[in-house]
Structure 1
Amino acid sequence: MDDFNSETDSDYTSYWRDWFISSRGNEYFCEIDEEYLTDRFNLTGLSTEVQYYQYALDLVTDVFDLDCDDDMRETIEKSARHLYGLVHARYIVTTRGLAKMLDKYKKNDFGKCPRVMCKSQPLLPMGQSDNPNIKAVKLYCSKCEDIYNPKSSRHAAIDGAYFGTSFHNILFQVYPALMPAKSYERYSPRIYGFKVHAPAALIRWQNGQREDMRRRLRHLKVDSGFVDDERDELDTEYEEDFEPEGVANGSVAGGPVNGMA
């Protein structure tokens, strides 16, 4: 009978976490061990970060027995999801957490790099801030060492703090054999099979930057000291339109201009 009760309690306490992990949009999360959740040391400092902290913790560990209305229940449920996310960021840098996230990484649960040259390299979730409500989760590619937005809007709404800024780097420190070779291959622009000359692209970029600077300076009415080609051309066209006929021919009233015959 004791064994039966123990097994039943174990199944019951894992219910909320099973539901959370299996919910659509939560595929990036792994299941946190019950022993980790019930160790108060692992939850240090979270009581000030989560509203109705104790009720939320009771809900996550399935010992919640408060009789409340639907609105209160929804608020506690939201706090429970937030608490699970914050604990999750701590758990996935432990030995057990890294092993669980590694399994998901090998199964491509986080997606593949959209960059063609990376050849479907698996991605890892990461945060750009360890503080919640600042940046959404991003996906890191260890081959091109760049980050990408999740494809699904459900995943894009996940807080990046639930994974932290260090997890993806710690994973490759613990499992260095998984670190792929860096991608040095780059797309080379070509026209009819010939590479586009690099200085030509550089000159186009420089011209664009120069024209943008001139427009901004003219808007601010700042004397830049640059020769304004566009304004010079307009002035030249204006002078030609109103130039006396004799001057246009190089003379004034039949005589040479500036010594020109």
Structure 2
Amino acid sequence: LHTGVIEFEALPASRPSQYPTMSSSSGTPESWISSFCSLLGHEYFAEISEDFIEDDFNLTGLQTQVAMYKEALEMILDVEPEDDDDEDEEEEEEEGDESIEGEDHKVRRVAPDRRHHRMASDLSVIESSAEMLYGLIHQRFICSRAGIQQMSEKYELGHFGVCPRTYCEGVRTLPVGLSDVPGEDTVKLFCPSCLDVYVPPNSRFQTVDGAFFGRTFGALFLLTFPDYDISKKGVDTLGGHGARSMATTVSDEEKDKINGMNIQNLGPGLGKGKMYEPKIYGFKVSERARSGPRMSWLRDRPVDIRELDEAALFAAPDESDEDAGLNNGARTQPTQTLGGARKMRRPNGGSPMSIEAFM
């Protein structure tokens, strides 16, 4: 008889229990990577392609940093764990000649139970190892061509939030880490306008390890896309324009680059007129006061931004080089003068008491 009870298929052991297994739009199972990136608080993550993960070169050195590395990698790639029943049976057949038949039967009965308990106890460890492994791979992926392109699309759409500083006027931020070593600090938001880092405003991001984004991504992103108008406000991304319209092109006059970046993108939120000055009843707080401002140099910016052009400073001749670049002309001239003076003193006999020597 039909009792009305619907039987569900058991989930594979390699899939974390907290991740959804079915896509809402279609009935196809959702991959572990898509499920991980769709979790609350994982909006900063990019979906790593399986081709990138399957390349052993991209995983160099991660085996020693992650516990149960093989099992964690299989979980990320949705690979079913290898069944050890066949291997155990082969080992038992080889040892069958040296053991008693009763003991062999006992081993066959206990082995599946032992594997069951091992999988139940290690599943949580594998899940945490898979998250750690994915984060370390993610740090490398977002610095690749495909990864940084995916992060640029998220940046254009304002997925990373905006700078909380008033003078930055809602400039979009980038997720970065203050360390490449896991467990040292959480993810931070880097503002390319004031060149400062901030704690994400939502607490759900404060549990994400900063090493999953690393220290290289922020600077590499700005050097890869120098034509981005970073002064564009994050509020503008909510308009009806497409994602590609966010990457506005600058005019020909503003295409002058300093250190590989456009002049307009070098700290536009810094400098005179964009620095907070504490006041009490309209009076400025003196810097000599005990609680006066001490960190104004963090918001400083040279009036002539070309003073930061390292290439021009390197190509410009140094004063010491100018002195050394006289090709010994100035050095030989005094020598000749001294030589001429010596020749003129020779008729005097070289006597310092000669009257002609003082005329």
TM-score by structure 1 length? 0.69
Asked if 1:134 corresponds to 2:184, the answer is yes
Aligned to 1:146, which of 187, 191, 196?
196
Aligned to 1:29, which of 45, 49, 69?
45
Aligned to 2:147, which of 97, 107, 119?
97
Structure having the higher helix fraction is: 1
Alignment partner, residue 210 of structure 2 = 160
Asked if 1:45 corresponds to 2:45, the answer is no
Asked if 1:111 corresponds to 2:127, the answer is no
Alignment partner, residue 287 of structure 2 = 202
Q: How does 1:161-240 map to 2 (within 5 A)?
A: 161-178=211-228, 179-180=230-231, 181=265, 182-184=268-270, 185-190=274-279, 196=284, 201-205=286-290
Q: Quick one: distance in 2 between partners of 1:13 and 1:93?
A: 29
Residue 175 of structure 2 aligns to a residue in which SS?
Answer: strand
Q: Quick one: distance in 2 between partners of 1:51 and 1:191?
A: 56
Alignment partner, residue 60 of structure 1 = 76
Residue 125 of structure 1 aligns to a residue in which SS?
Answer: strand
What are the superposed Cα offsets for residues 170-210 of structure 1, whole Å, 9 maximum, x if unpaired?
A: 00101011244421312334566x552xxx61232389x9x
Q: Quick one: distance in 1 between partners of 2:136 and 2:199?
A: 21
Offset of residue 106 of structure 1: 1.0
Offset of residue 14 of structure 1: 6.3
Q: Quick one: distance in 2 between partners of 1:99 and 1:63?
A: 27
Change (3 A) 1:134 1:12: farther
Give the AA of the match of 1:188.
E
Asked if 1:19 corresponds to 2:69, the answer is no
Change (3 A) 1:206 1:16: closer
Offset of residue 151 of structure 1: 1.6
Q: Quick one: distance in 2 between partners of 1:191 and 1:45?
A: 56
Q: Quick one: distance in 2 between partners of 1:74 and 1:82?
A: 12
Please tell me whether the aligned partners of residues 13 and 61 of structure 1 are also in contact (alpha carbons under 8 angstroms).
no
Change (3 A) 1:133 1:20: same
| Number of equivalences | 194
When structure 1 is superposed on structure 2, of 37-46 and 152-161 the one drifting more is 152-161
Residue 140 of structure 1 aligns to a residue in which SS?
Answer: strand
Give the AA of the match of 2:277.
S
Offset of residue 30 of structure 1: 0.4
Q: Quick one: distance in 2 between partners of 1:59 and 1:141?
A: 35
Change (3 A) 1:206 1:147: closer
Please tell me whether the aligned partners of residues 128 and 160 of structure 1 are also in contact (alpha carbons under 8 angstroms).
yes
Offset of residue 169 of structure 1: 0.4
- Identity, in percent, stands at 37
Residue 139 of structure 1 aligns to a residue in which SS?
Answer: strand
Please tell me whether the aligned partners of residues 12 and 62 of structure 1 are also in contact (alpha carbons under 8 angstroms).
no
Please tell me whether the aligned partners of residues 13 and 62 of structure 1 are also in contact (alpha carbons under 8 angstroms).
no
Asked if 1:120 corresponds to 2:206, the answer is no
Q: Quick one: distance in 2 between partners of 1:12 and 1:60?
A: 17
Q: Quick one: distance in 2 between partners of 1:135 and 1:101?
A: 21
Give the AA of the match of 1:120.
G
